[in-house]
Amino acid sequence: MTTQTTASNTPSTTTAAAAPKGLIGIPENIGRALATAGGALSVASTFLAWTWTPAFPGDLTVYGYPGGLQVLVLVGGALTALFGLASYGVKGLRWLAPAGADSSLKLAALGTFATAWYTVIAISVKLGGLVNLEPGGWIVAVVTLAAVLGAFSLPFERPEAEHHDADGTGWDRFRHGVRHQVAVLRAALAGGEPSAPARKLPSYAEILIIVAVLAAGLTVFTYGIGTEYDELFIGFLITAGFGFAALFKAGLITRIAAITARHSTVTMIGAFVAAAAFPFTQSDDQYATIGVYILIFATVALGLNVVVGLAGLLDLGYVAFLGVGAYTAALVSGSPSSPLSIQLPFWASALIGAVVSMVFGVLIGAPTLRLRGDYLAIVTLGFGEIFRIALLNTDGTSGPDITNGSNGISSIPNLNILGFDFGQEHTILGFTIGRFANYFLLMLLITLVVVVVFRRSSDSRIGRAWIAVREDETAARAMGINGFRVKLIAFALGATLAGLAGTVQAHVTYTVTPEQYMFAHVVPPNSAFLLAAVVLGGMGTISGPLVGAALLYLIPAKLQFLGDYQLLAFGLALVLLMRFRPEGLIASRRRQLEFHEDTEAPAVLSKAGV
């Protein structure tokens, strides 16, 4: 981990003129105090009324009880105040900012300012002018602006090249590379991190931290998915985006990632327990619907991660394997529009759907996987289009009567496993869960299976062979690895996992049609969104595609009020994320080193990230 250095602890040989300066000409000590006090006052302002009328969503007229967008400003202000205190070196808060608090203080203050001013402007526009603001609205606007000014008066730290090698090449670059390799070897021998780590916590304390992080993650996800109006969701995106960036800059995300890596099994079990608790936090099926579709999308993205993230194969027609599993399950599940007129139990239809998808994966991969790069991408894109056109033509007129053409297979019955009807409401532990909550829990079990398969595969001999082929296929072949065989195994395994998820999707949606499996479709999952989920989340990791898929499904679903500008806003968000986080939101340790050469190498590089 890197340690941020302020102007106060620079070497004595550095003159005041050469000291790093902030963006604004405010003295550093005054700016730090202004930012910290601004964050604290932002929290206090949320307990005041911001407008006099409840016509603005969230009812911001109440004194003593934050509501709506005020809650988001409260969270941002609290983060700003905490990082401000941490920048003073307050004992007990240094753990929150192992990489330094100044950069994170700027991001937290900027996020709080953006959310507060967005709210003030939204109130003025919606209600018809600044006259609708109460004193709390004016106060929050002033104190958040003061916090931003104070934060940006702090000095910017930029690495400087040695005087004898100003361009950073030659001997300095060689010396940097040697130091980097020595850090890796030293960390591997010591079994710890190459930088000076913080005091190691006992195992029970680390497990408690993991539990707290998972609880916070469930709270954030539940809050985001349950935002009741458009203004609140936009404010949530602003606060969550700047908050995550601030925590990452502080080094807290890296520290927590190291803790979860040491307790990967506990983390995985805890994550699925937290996910299983989600339906019980909902009063109806409204948001459980989004939850089950996110799980389907995430599971398929994790299967694609085997192909793209581990084996390095660019597959642009992967959604076709989801369609193969869905259509197979629809044909054998007793649908009245199925020409087969048979009804198999779910375990049989799921097994058949997975096997048929695997067969298609082998049939498509066998003649094409000798291609590389762009050529393979074009071939897989063609397969996806061939699959969709074949579904349209097998309608009994242009071809055999199998899929009913563009009408698809409809009226797929709900699942019934051991007398448990997934289409009916059930009471579990005193909570009533509906149809989509039932399918959410079933899909969660399938996601767990896929996660275990991915984790065991990535840590196995074949997983190491995939990574070797991804890095350099020619070198891997020279070391005795059969590149074609290992790539075909990855293709078949990825297709199998997608087909397994497709068998549940068919029952959730009631109807499967060819339009659901296009390369680029407005509603995910589709091949374009699946690939984006893997790259955005973090290739080669377990949690990366899950987080990426959740964001890529949730954001378009919540931005529907933008109408024709929905995809424009969504595309801009992706551009910004890839600009500032090219390795993905949850990057594997290898990719983090690839994109950030100044990052010290972690102790373990062999396992896939969680």
User: Residue 404 is part of a domain; what is its CATH number?
Assistant: 1.10.3470
The last residue of a domain, from among 554, 582, 605: 554
Residues 338 and 239 occupy one common structural domain: no
Residues 241 and 363 occupy one common structural domain: no
Q: Can you tell me which residue has the tokens 């393979």? A: 376
Mean pLDDT, the chain, whole residue set: 81
> What DSSP designation does 193 have?
-
Does 602 or 389 have the greater pLDDT score?
Answer: 389
- pLDDT(318) > 50: yes
pLDDT category, 322, cuts 50, 70, 90? Answer: very high
- pLDDT(468) > 70: yes
pLDDT category, 108, cuts 50, 70, 90? Answer: very high
Q: For the chain, give the percent of residues with pLDDT over 90.
A: 26
Alpha-carbon gap, residue 375 to 492, rounded angstroms: 19
For the stretch 568-587, pLDDT in tens is 777 787 787 777 777 777 77
Alpha-carbon gap, residue 268 to 263, rounded angstroms: 9
Closest CA to 437 of 329, 572, 287, 539: 287
Alpha-carbon gap, residue 512 to 518, rounded angstroms: 12
Residues 307 and 239 occupy one common structural domain: no
Residues 80 and 130 occupy one common structural domain: yes
pLDDT category, 515, cuts 50, 70, 90? Answer: confident
- pLDDT(180) > 80: no
Alpha-carbon gap, residue 80 to 159, rounded angstroms: 25
User: Residue 108 is part of a domain; what is its CATH number?
Assistant: 1.20.1440
Q: What is the mean pLDDT of residues 151-157?
A: 79
Whether residue 330 lies inside any domain: the answer is: yes
Residues 242 and 344 occupy one common structural domain: no
**Total of domains in the chain:** 2
Whether residue 602 lies inside any domain: the answer is: no
Lowest-pLDDT range of 95-109, 307-321, 452-466, 596-610: 596-610
What pLDDT was estimated at residue 593? 61
Contact 3, 99 (CB under 8 A): yes
CB atoms within 10 A of CB 211: 15
Closest CA to 500 of 329, 380, 308, 293: 329
The token duo for 87 is 């920048």
Residues 407 and 536 occupy one common structural domain: yes
In one-letter notation, the amino acid at residue 45 is S
Q: Residue 147 contacts by C-beta under 8 Å, 6 or more apart in sequence? A: 34, 35, 37, 38, 39, 42, 77, 80, 109, 112, 113
What pLDDT was estimated at residue 503? 92
Residues 468 and 357 occupy one common structural domain: yes
What pLDDT was estimated at residue 597? 53
pLDDT category, 138, cuts 50, 70, 90? Answer: very high
For the stretch 373-383, pLDDT in tens is 788 888 888 88
The last residue of a domain, from among 537, 554, 571: 554
CA 71 to chain centroid, in Å, comes to 23
Determine if residue 15 is left, alpha or beta; phi over 0 gives left, psi from -120 to 50 gives alpha, anything else beta: beta
Whether residue 62 lies inside any domain: the answer is: yes
- pLDDT(7) > 70: no
Highest mean pLDDT among 19-33, 342-356, 390-404: 342-356
- pLDDT(103) > 50: yes
Whether residue 283 lies inside any domain: the answer is: no
Q: What is the mean pLDDT of residues 30-43?
A: 93
Residues 304 and 372 occupy one common structural domain: yes
Whether residue 507 lies inside any domain: the answer is: yes
Whether residue 226 lies inside any domain: the answer is: no
Q: What is the mean pLDDT of residues 464-486?
A: 89
Task: Concatenate the DSSP letters of all residues of 561-585 into one string.
Answer: GGGGGHHHHHHHHHHHHHHH-TT-T
Q: What is the mean pLDDT of residues 60-75?
A: 92
Residues 244 and 392 occupy one common structural domain: no
Q: What is the mean pLDDT of residues 492-519?
A: 89
pLDDT category, 194, cuts 50, 70, 90? Answer: very low
Closest CA to 591 of 442, 471, 479, 503: 471
Whether residue 584 lies inside any domain: the answer is: no
For the stretch 228-255, pLDDT in tens is 888 899 999 999 989 998 998 888 888 8
For the stretch 347-374, pLDDT in tens is 899 999 999 999 999 998 888 888 887 8
The per-residue b/e assignment along 270-281, b for 16 or more CB within 10 angstroms, e otherwise, is bbbebbeebbee
Residues 239 and 322 occupy one common structural domain: no
Residues 372 and 240 occupy one common structural domain: no
Whether residue 142 lies inside any domain: the answer is: yes
CA 331 to chain centroid, in Å, comes to 34
Residues 243 and 340 occupy one common structural domain: no
Structural domain for 62, as ranges: 7-157+234-250
For the stretch 253-267, pLDDT in tens is 888 888 888 888 888
Q: Residue 489 contacts by C-beta under 8 Å, 6 or more apart in sequence? A: 462
